[in-house]
């Protein structure tokens, strides 16, 4: 093993600070958290060096990172956890639109007026506890007010309220169907709903 290879292997998982030299571009190309300046690959963040010897790529990963906080206008994913009133449910927001989990769990509220363009007497005609939803945040402060009327928002995964099995979207049919017990339930379905029955 060459002396330079040994030096580079010692760098693997070592702690570096922004601007610190890691290697030259001929040895590794920069990945996440790294950049090139005058042919030298340097760290862009405080973190640990990770060397990919197969792709010849070096990354610097911040083990903590900046906390990401949902903001007004953000698209988020959450789980409906409780019915608070006939027209209101509690939602635990857990990830952003790219399904990157937030550092903590955030609280959201979904009112029936923000859930469907169609008249609904109860929020349970649109979503139910246990549903995973894609929603838009409409206010600036926590706890968040959510909206699933906009764009491709709505329920992305739902379970049967009778037996707990997944509810499937059947092409050409409006209600979701439980393939275990045969129950049919309505939801405001989002684009990209997970459970889709294929074939006949």
The binding site for Zn(2+) comprises: 160, 163, 178, 181
Backbone angles phi, psi at 10, to 5 degrees: -70, -25
How far from 126 is each of 99, 129, 199, CA to CA, in Å?
A: 23, 11, 27
- Say which residue the tokens 């990963």 belong to: 61
The region, left, alpha or beta by phi > 0 then psi within -120 to 50, assigned to residue 174 is: alpha
DSSP conformation letters of 69-125: ---TT-EEEEEEEEEEETTEEEEEEEEETT-PEEEEEEEEEEEGGGT-SS--SSGGG
Backbone angles phi, psi at 73, to 5 degrees: 90, -10
Pick out the residues of the known binding site.
Answer: 160, 163, 178, 181
Cα–Cα distance, 91 to 84 (Å, whole number): 10
Cα–Cα distance, 176 to 174 (Å, whole number): 7
């Amino acid at each position: 093993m060459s002396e330079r290879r040994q030096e580079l292997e010692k760098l693997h998982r070592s702690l570096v600070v922004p601007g610190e030299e890691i290697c030259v571009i001929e040895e590794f190309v920069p990945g996440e958290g790294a950049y090139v300046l005058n042919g030298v690959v340097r760290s862009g963040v405080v973190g640990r060096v990770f060397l990919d010897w197969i792709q010849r790529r070096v990354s610097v990963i911040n083990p903590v990172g900046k906390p990401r906080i949902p903001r007004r206008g953000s698209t988020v994913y959450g789980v409906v956890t409780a019915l608070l009133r006939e027209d209101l449910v509690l939602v635990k927001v857990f990830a952003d639109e790219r399904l990157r989990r937030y550092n903590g769990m955030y609280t959201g509220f979904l009112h029936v007026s923000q859930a469907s363009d169609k008249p609904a007497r109860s929020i349970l005609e649109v979503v139910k506890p246990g549903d995973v939803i894609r929603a838009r945040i409409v206010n600036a402060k926590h706890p968040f007010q959510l909206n699933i009327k906009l764009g491709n928002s709505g329920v992305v995964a739902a379970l049967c309220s009778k037996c707990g099995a997944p509810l499937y979207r059947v092409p050409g049919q409006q209600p979701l169907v439980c393939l275990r017990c045969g129950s049919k339930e309505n939801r405001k379905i989002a684009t990209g709903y997970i459970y889709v029955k294929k074939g006949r």
